[in-house]
């Protein structure tokens, strides 16, 4: 068995380091601020270097460092992952693009045509991260008032229609959320491999939909025992539907030659954390985010308060936004923890670090080899078609 290892490509700027979290000085996202020597806006004037140039550097670096592909997240106010993946594909060779998107904001036929075009243009390098949204202000930003469980019903219906039209025969569908009449992909787009589906969400509704559609059930990192139980639940539910999904975890990494050096980096970043923010509750209806809150003390006074098990640290969200959990330690310790996750049944990792460029090389060259390169899926230009069942 091999493991698929992805790197995250930031879609909303890039911090120079976790030590200076407020300044996104890569590409043209940073704007002009004290100490910001961002290319793209030198002396306050655009100089032609744009964020896509930085994202391309990260994609190329992570491809060179041995990653199979990159996750392109999607939030209000980020770049659009579909558009950027099309541009980044021209900068890379075998690198896969895991596009995060919320079904429901696209008609499935539009998604099918975009996906088939991308498959055709890239030699089959598109992967989906199907997300169904966390409610609250971020959901309303999209004008989406559909409630939590109905968002998963919509996701499920969307994937059903997407798979239906992918077959290339005229397809009719009348559902709660989507309708099509005689829909079929253009002839030249028929026959492309259907993208692998990574499926996120911790709620019962998410697990139900994942049982039907996930090739990989994807979770944020959690304490390992809890993660194992969560995977067992997904496995059992999917088995009742005759399916056997694989498992993937999205993990921030801060690894250095020694454990002390790794925690020293965290400590420097922690100096910028506002205690008010550290103790603030996230808004929304995400069950996954609620689970995370359950492992974080209600009052946080220091960074070691959120080390929930050795090397597993739940403070990343406070340094740079995004998911809370990641691994902090020496290269060997982090590799050991990844090995433990593989023993728990994990088949794929989506790793991340700030700044994305340098950390891609560091993690790819210092941590991954300790797991043994033979464990990694080797990139190929065209991956095998995933089933459209
Ligand atoms: C690994 C992972 C990546 C995610 N990426 C995104 C993202 O890029 N954009 C987004 O809006 N939500 C993202 N989400 C959040 C999901 O949309 C959803 O809010 C979350 O999984 C909560 O669903 P639940 O209530 O079923 O737990 C992600 C979730 C996970 C687990």
Query: Which value, in Å, is the radius of gyration of the alpha carbons in the chain?
Result: 21
Q: Tell me what the pLDDT averaged over the chain comes to.
A: 90
Residue-level pLDDT at 385 = 46
Residue-level pLDDT at 332 = 96
Q: Which of 200, 211, 292 to mutate to test the pocket of ligand 1 (most atoms within 8 A of CB)?
A: 200
| 187-233 per-position pLDDT tens digit | 999 999 999 999 999 999 999 999 999 999 999 999 999 999 999 99
The average pLDDT across 156-173 equals 96
Indicate the pLDDT class of residue 39, thresholds 50, 70 and 90.
Answer: low
Residue-level pLDDT at 171 = 96
Per the model's pLDDT, the better-predicted residue between 102 and 18 turns out to be 102
**CB atoms inside a 10 Å sphere around CB 307:** 15
The average pLDDT across 55-65 equals 97
Atom 5 of ligand 1, nearest CA residue: 73
Give the residue among 196, 224, 219 at the shortest CA–CA distance from 295.
224
Task: Check if CATH label 1.10.287.70 holds for domain 4-260+328-375.
Answer: no
**Does 132 contact ligand 1 (Cβ within 6 A)?**
yes
Strands (DSSP E) found in the chain: 4-8, 69-72, 96-101, 126-130, 171-174, 179-183, 196-200, 216-220, 246-256, 307-309, 312-313, 326-330, 348-352
Residue-level pLDDT at 223 = 97
Q: Which of 128, 201, 284 to mutate to test the pocket of ligand 1 (most atoms within 8 A of CB)?
A: 201
Compute the distance from residue 215 Cα to the ligand 1 centre, in Å. 16
Domain boundaries, the chain: 4-260+328-375
| 82-110 per-position pLDDT tens digit | 999 999 999 999 999 999 999 989 999 99
**Does 131 contact ligand 1 (Cβ within 6 A)?**
yes
| 254-307 per-position pLDDT tens digit | 999 999 999 999 999 998 887 677 666 667 889 998 888 888 887 888 899 999
Residue 22 has pLDDT above 70, yes or no: no
| 74-89 per-position pLDDT tens digit | 999 899 999 999 999 9
Residue 47 has pLDDT above 90, yes or no: no
Per the model's pLDDT, the better-predicted residue between 13 and 356 turns out to be 356
Compute the distance from residue 201 Cα to the ligand 1 centre, in Å. 6
Q: Which atom of ligand 1 is nearest to the CA of 284?
A: 19
Kindly write down the DSSP assignment for every residue of 192-211, as one continuous string: PPBPEEEEE--SHHHHHHHH
Per the model's pLDDT, the better-predicted residue between 42 and 374 turns out to be 42
| Percentage, residues of the chain above pLDDT 70 | 90
Give the residue among 4, 21, 8, 3 at the shortest CA–CA distance from 352.
8
Residue-level pLDDT at 323 = 87
Residue-level pLDDT at 38 = 67
| Percentage, residues of the chain above pLDDT 90 | 72
Per the model's pLDDT, the better-predicted residue between 248 and 388 turns out to be 248
Q: If phi over 0 gives left and psi between -120 and 50 gives alpha, with beta otherwise, what is residue 172?
A: beta
Q: Which atom of ligand 1 is nearest to the CA of 133?
A: 17
**How far apart, in Å, are the Cα atoms of 156 and each of 68, 160, 269?**
27, 6, 40
| 167-193 per-position pLDDT tens digit | 989 999 999 999 999 999 999 999 999
Give the residue among 342, 385, 376, 387 at the shortest CA–CA distance from 68.
376
**CB atoms inside a 10 Å sphere around CB 71:** 24
Q: Which atom of ligand 1 is nearest to the CA of 76?
A: 11
């Amino acid at each position: 068995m091999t493991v698929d290892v992805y790197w995250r490509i930031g879609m909303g700027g890039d911090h120079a380091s976790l030590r200076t979290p407020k300044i996104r000085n890569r590409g043209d996202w940073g704007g002009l601020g004290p100490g910001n020597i961002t290319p793209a806006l030198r002396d306050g004037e655009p100089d032609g270097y744009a964020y896509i140039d930085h994202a391309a550097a990260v994609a190329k670096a992570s491809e060179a460092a041995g990653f199979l592909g990159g996750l392109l997240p999607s939030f209000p106010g980020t770049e659009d992952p579909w558009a950027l993946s099309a541009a980044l594909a021209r900068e890379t060779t075998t690198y896969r693009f895991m596009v995060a998107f919320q079904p429901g904001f696209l008609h499935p036929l539009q998604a099918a045509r975009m996906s088939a075009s991308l498959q055709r243009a890239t030699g089959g390098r598109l992967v989906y991260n199907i997300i169904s949204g966390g409610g609250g202000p971020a959901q309303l930003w999209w004008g989406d008032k559909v409630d939590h469980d109905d968002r998963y019903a919509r996701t499920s219906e969307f994937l059903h229609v997407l798979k239906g039209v992918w077959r290339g025969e005229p397809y009719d569908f009348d559902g709660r959320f989507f309708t099509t009449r005689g829909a079929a992909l253009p002839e030249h787009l028929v026959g492309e491999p259907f993208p692998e589906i990574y499926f996120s969400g911790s709620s019962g509704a998410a697990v139900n939909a994942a049982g039907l559609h996930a090739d990989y059930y994807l979770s944020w990192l959690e304490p390992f025992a809890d993660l194992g139980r969560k995977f067992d639940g997904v496995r059992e539910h999917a088995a009742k539907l005759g399916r056997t999904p694989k498992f993937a975890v999205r993990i921030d990494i801060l690894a250095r030659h020694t454990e002390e050096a790794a925690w020293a980096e965290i400590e420097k970043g922690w100096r910028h954390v506002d205690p008010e923010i550290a103790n603030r509750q996230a808004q929304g209806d995400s069950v996954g985010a609620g689970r995370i809150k359950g492992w974080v003390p209600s009052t946080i006074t220091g960074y070691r308060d959120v080390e929930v098990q050795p090397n597993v640290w739940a403070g990343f969200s406070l340094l740079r936004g995004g998911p809370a959990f990641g691994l902090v330690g020496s290269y060997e310790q982090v590799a050991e923890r990844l090995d433990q996750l593989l023993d728990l049944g994990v088949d794929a990792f989506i790793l991340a670090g700030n700044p994305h460029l340098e950390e891609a090389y560091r993690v790819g060259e210092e941590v991954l080899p300790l797991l043994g390169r033979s464990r990694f899926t080797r990139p190929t230009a065209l991956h095998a078609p995933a089933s459209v069942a």
